[in-house]
Structure 1
Amino acid sequence: MYRLLAADGQARERRNQLTHPAYFKPELLATGPNQVWSWDITKLKGPLKWTCFQLYVILDIFSRYVVGWLIAPRESAELARQLIAETVAKQGVEPRTLTVHADRGTSMRSKLVAELLVDLDVAKSHSRPYVSDDNPFSEAQFKTLKYRPDFPERFASIEEARAHCQRFFQWYNEQHRHSGIGFMTPTAVHHGQAAQLFEQRADTLNAAFAAHPRRFKGHCPQPPRLPIAAWINPPKQENSPTKTPDPCSLN
């Protein structure tokens, strides 16, 4: 009987089936600082089992510069709204120039945050459900934080957690040489100092090559390329950006 029904197109699933909407794949491009920010919340273990503190971090995806952060005993949409508003004001972001990307957590999709972004004329973007690759910059930054040798198993108090993060983010912005931005510090890229540092590196390498060409087997060394674009989900057919010119070829 089932074969006859199937042949006539009358056999189907009789139970109601859950259908998922088609979510848009975010494709975000930043060619300079304060164009695309990524923000997320991670947990820091507290002094007792089942206790934790919430670390909010806003990251510029082009420069990898942490533009804002806070630690609170709980996750709150009101705290997220305050952090975003204060960070936008501190960075002097002009209307219609910034996109803020986040996953689909409760605070990220809250009405308070959505209304704030509308008031500030800032575009919002969200990851697709169950797709961790849509927010790679924040996830990588949290991994850098938690894989540091001095990161403790637990924090005795929220004050201790804040003191630790204060030291970490100062190191991360001012001293950490990030491989994704040509081994520059996030501060140098965010504040427009990277081009000058690149030229200084190139001059040093050129001088070393001129003095000892055999040491480099006849090939002039190049400093790592500076970032010219940062993507969240680049289009597959997108042409790769123009590479930084070889400083030796300009001599």
Structure 2
Amino acid sequence: MPRLADEGLYVASESTFYRVLREHGQSQHRGKARASTKRPRVEHVASAPNQVWSWDITYLKGLVRGAFIYLYLVVDVYSRRVMGWQVHQEESTDKAAALIRSCWAEAGRPEGLTLHSDNGGPMKGATMPSGVSDDS
């Protein structure tokens, strides 16, 4: 099929191919990797500041082509206040954990704080202070 696509001939969309495979029981997971598992979506609601923080690491283009710098950012979900940020030359679990700990200390160590993030490597590996629940 890729050869036909290179020639500008399209038989069906990618989603149609997957649908037909599913209908014929041919879309089973293959390979050594585990099949993905469905998890319930967690919703966070904040009714005041320092109840839920969200954080992430964003890639920013560096001065050299193909090189990046990393913006670590922590935001309070309720007030949308930037609780802290740092820029580093590498993505690091230790740097992420240090930023979270310093933001938490500067905010007065709020008890019961929920820290939300995606499931990136540093988010999974960062050691959080006690009193902060890491609800990725």
Letter paired with 2:63: P
Partner of 2:132: 122
SS at match of 2:121: coil
**Aligned counterpart, 1:99:** 114
Corresponding residue of 1:194: none
Q: CA deviation at 1:28?
A: 0.5
Look up the match of 1:44.
60
The alignment-based identity, stated in percent, is 34
Partner residue in 2 for 1:60:
76
Which runs of no fewer than 5 residues in structure 1 stay unpaired?
A: 1-10, 127-251
* Structure-1-length-normalised TM-score: 0.41
Q: 5+ unaligned residues in a row in structure 2: which ranges?
A: 1-23
Contact 1:43/1:55 (<8 A) preserved: yes
How many aligned positions are there?
109
TM-score for the superposition, normalised by structure 2: 0.73
1:146-165 equivalences under 5 Å are none
1:97-133 CA-to-partner distances (Å, cap 9, x unmatched) read 20000011110111xx2xx32x42211222xxxxxxx
From the two aligned structures, give the one with the greater helix fraction: 1
Q: Distance in 1 between matches of 2:114 and 2:70?
A: 23
Deviations 1:195-220 (A, max 9, x none): xxxxxxxxxxxxxxxxxxxxxxxxxx
C-alpha distance 50-125 of structure 1, shift in aligned 2 (>3 A): same
> Comparing both structures, which one devotes a greater share of its residues to strand?
2
Aligned Cα root-mean-square deviation (Å): 1.9
Q: 1:16 to 1:77 in 2, by over 3 A?
A: closer
Which has the bigger relative contact order, CA under 8 A and spacing at least 6?
1
Using the alignment, how far apart are the partners of 2:25 and 2:50 within structure 1? 52
Q: Deviation at 1:12? A: 6.1
1:33 pairs with one of 49, 74, 79: 49
State the structure with more CA Rg. Answer: 1
